[in-house]
Amino acid sequence: MTLLHKFLLVFLMAAITVSSCAQTAPATHPNITNPDLDKRLTNLLRFDVPLIGADSLAGLENITIFDTREQEEYAVSHLPNAVLLPPKQDIPQWILNMDRDQPIVLYCSVGYRSENVGRELQKEGFTNVYNLYGSIFDWVEKGYPIEDEMGESTKVVHTYNQRWGKLLNRPAVDKTW
């Protein structure tokens, strides 16, 4: 086998590996308000955790909602009844003791960190895990309520950083990072 053949074989194997790991956006996914955010998400997410939209989530009861952002972000604002589950920590034992079929919705700023946590919960055997498509950004864009660490209604969203904050366009919302 010549050096060129070896190179081509390695290149082909690498291309097959990369393409088999890559996920594409599902043909249909929840509608979100901001088309720029939607475009970013189709390139950012792996789509290996089922999606739920803000409109669908707003009408559900008896569902566990986990905010997978950092404590500082959660303190600024979060979805009502959301429980903090920071993304860089091990899944707490109390969650591992939950019913594995309990419906769970995860969110963060845009859906990347929550997708990663969702993947971990799936590995632990949770069968009813959803990633909020567009996460808190789309939730707020659609006018759904958020609350601060005291449980009071707020219009402030922690956008992770200034760059991501450009993808939150609702004029009635104040941004911090």
Q: Give the burial string for 118-139 (b: 16+ CB within 10 Å, else e).
A: bebbeeeebebbbbbbbbbbbb
| Predicted confidence (pLDDT) per residue in 88-144, tens digit | 888 999 999 999 999 999 999 999 999 999 999 999 999 999 999 999 999 999 999
Alpha-carbon gap, residue 152 to 89, rounded angstroms: 27
Query: Does residue 77 carry a pLDDT above 60?
Result: yes
Give helix then strand counts, H and E, for the chain: 8, 9
Give the pair of three-digit tokens for residue 115. Answer: 């997708």
For residue 175, the cross-strand partners are: 157
Alpha-carbon gap, residue 131 to 85, rounded angstroms: 14
In Å, what is the CA distance from 130 to each residue of 57, 133, 164?
Answer: 10, 9, 22
pLDDT of residue 18: 39
Q: Please, what are the domains in the chain? A: 31-176 (3.40.250.10)
